[in-house]
Chains A and B, each alone.
Chain A
């Protein structure tokens, strides 16, 4: 079975632009979480979606938004990109609400110039 897939793997944007990152969870998994990881730090929680509704939100500005589709795939959108948004964006899925075991994709490396 395929694991969590994220696209694209790498992305270069300029300040002020908008970006959309995509995630396909493991088949049968209903929960998707998004994390931002800056080099040398731990993953920072952005959002969790379960059954297509936002269930958890981290301390990120409103420029960050996400949604989950009926097939449980998810998109993370970031508007008005800042240099500080440069990071590895990780998506994780879990069969149920989560909280016990997350399955991670390989991430999207975003560089903002």
Chain B
């Protein structure tokens, strides 16, 4: 089962444009994380936002969290071809013992 569902499933943009990905989840959370995966290999942690936070920034990344709507968004500004990857949201379902991932958004940035 998957706690998070990303939207859209796939996104194709031009270099320099912004990319926005959304994640919805079903149950209460302590935090929500975003990960990136290149070419079907290991995932890399990008950013974490806690349930009492509404917005967080890291470089070109901006994450928002709306706990009332059980949703989060990841914004990548001024995208680059190197940002081409799959992006996943993840939530902790078991007090630190069960991190569940969504189905992911496939981002393609055209040079």
Residues of chain A whose beta carbon lies under 8 Å from any beta carbon of chain B: 4, 33, 35, 37, 39, 41-45, 48, 50, 55-56, 58-59, 88, 90, 92, 96-107
Question: Nearest 10 pairs between A and B by C-beta?
Answer: A99-B96, A97-B96, A99-B92, A56-B97, A104-B42, A56-B98, A55-B97, A42-B101, A42-B103, A104-B43
Assess whether A43 is in contact with B88, with CB atoms less than 8 Å apart. Answer: yes
Contacts of A90 in B (CB 8 A): 42-43
- Contacts between chains A and B (CB distance < 8 A), count: 78
Q: Could you list which residues of chain B lie within 8 angstroms of chain A, going by C-beta atoms? A: 1-2, 30-31, 33, 35, 40-45, 48, 88, 90, 92, 94-104
* B40 near A96: Cβ-Cβ < 8 Å: no
A59, A88, A99: most-surrounded residue (chain B CB, <10 A): A99
Would you call B45 and A101 a contact (CB within 8 A)?
yes
Please report the C-alpha to C-alpha distance between residue A58 and residue B70 in the assembled complex, in whole angstroms. Answer: 22
Q: How far is the CB of A99 from chain B (nearest CB, A)?
A: 3
Given A43-B101, A48-B98, A106-B42, 13 more pairs with CB closer than 8 A: A4-B42, A41-B104, A45-B100, A48-B97, A88-B40, A90-B43, A96-B96, A97-B97, A99-B95, A100-B31, A102-B99, A104-B42, A107-B41
- In the complex, 9 of the A-B residue pairs with CB atoms within 8 angstroms, ordered by the A residue number, are A44-B101, A90-B43, A98-B96, A99-B92, A99-B96, A99-B99, A102-B35, A104-B42, A107-B41
Chain A residues closer than 8 Å to B95, beta-carbon distance: 97, 99
Name the residue on B nearest A41 (C-beta).
B103
Q: Please, how many angstroms separate the alpha-carbon atoms of A105 and B37 in the complex?
A: 11
